[in-house]
Copies of this chain bind each other. A is one copy, B any other.
Amino acid sequence: MFESAEIGHAIDKDAYDAAVPALREALLEAQFELKQQSRFPVIVLINGVEGAGKGETVKLLNEWMDPRLIQVNTFDQQTDEELARPPAWRYWRQLPPKGQIGVFFGNWYSQMLQGRVHGRIKTAVLDQAIDEAQRLEQMLCDEGALIFKFWFHLSKKQMKARLNTLKDDPLHSWRISPLDWLQSKTYDKFVRFGERILRRSSRDYAPWYVVEGADQYYRSLTMGRILLEGLQAALQSQEPTQRHPHAAPLIASLDNFGLLASLDMSQRLEKNDYEEQLAAEQARLSGLMRDKRFRKHALVAVFEGNDAAGKGGAIRRVAAALDPRQYRIVPIAAPTQEELAQPYLWRFWRHIPGRGKFTVFDRSWYGRVLVERVEGFCSPADWLRAYGEINDFEEQLTRAGVVLVKFWLSIDQATQLQRFEEREQIPFKRFKITEDDWRNRDKWPQYSDAVGDMVDRTSSEIATWTLVEANDKRFARVKVLRTINDALAAAYARD
Which residues of B lie under 8 Å from residue A86 when comparing CB positions?
352, 396-397, 399-400, 402
Number of residues from A at the complex interface, CB < 8 A: 57
Given the known inter-chain contacts A343-B95, A343-B145, please indicate yes or no for A89 contacting B349, CB distance below 8 A. Answer: yes
Question: Which residues on B sit within 8 Å (CB–CB) of A95?
Answer: 342-343, 346
Q: Does A93 interact with chain B (Cβ within 8 Å)?
A: yes
CB pair A139–B343 under 8 Å, yes or no, is: yes
Q: Is A143 an interface residue (CB 8 A)?
A: yes
24 A-B contacts (beta carbon < 8 Å): A81-B354, A85-B355, A86-B396, A87-B400, A88-B349, A88-B396, A89-B352, A95-B346, A98-B340, A98-B341, A98-B342, A124-B124, A124-B125, A124-B127, A127-B127, A127-B128, A127-B131, A132-B392, A132-B396, A136-B392, A139-B343, A139-B385, A140-B343, A143-B344
Q: Given that A85-B354, A92-B346, A346-B92 are known contacts, is A341 also in contact with B143, CB under 8 Å in the complex?
A: no
Contacting residues, chain B, for A172 (C-beta < 8 A): none
Indicate if A421 sits at the interface (CB-CB under 8 A).
no
The verdict on A185 contacting chain B, using a C-beta distance below 8 Å, is no
How long is the Cα–Cα vector from A381 to B131 in the complex, in angstroms?
22
Copies of this chain per assembly: 2
Q: Answer whether residue A350 sits at the interface, using C-beta atoms and an 8 A cutoff.
A: yes
**Bound CA span A494–B43, Å:** 39
Residues in chain B near residue A392, CB distance under 8 A:
132, 135-136, 139
CB of A126, distance to nearest CB on chain B (Å):
10
A146 shortest CB reach to chain B, Å: 13
Minimal beta-carbon separation of A243 from chain B (angstroms):
10
**Is A342 in contact with B97, judged by CB distance below 8 angstroms?**
yes
Q: Give A97 to B341 CA distance when docked, in angstroms.
A: 5
Known contacts A128-B127, A131-B127, A402-B86; A93 and B349 CB within 8 A of each other: yes
Which residues of the other chain, B, contact A341 by a CB distance below 8 angstroms? 38, 41, 97-99
Min CB gap A135→B, angstroms:
5
Give A428 Cβ to nearest chain B Cβ, in Å: 38
Q: Are B143 and A97 in contact (CB under 8 A)?
A: no
Q: Which residues of B contact A168 (CB under 8 A)?
A: none
Contacts A85-B400, A397-B86; is A92 near B127 (CB within 8 Å)? no
Interface residues of A in 339-378 (CB under 8 A from B): 340-346, 349-350, 352-356
Q: Which of B85, B128, B340 contacts A128 (CB 8 A)?
A: B128
Verify if A142 is at the interface (C-beta below 8 Å from B): yes
Instruction: Tell me whether A350 and B400 are in contact (CB under 8 A).
Output: no
B350 to A93, Cβ gap below 8 A?
Answer: yes
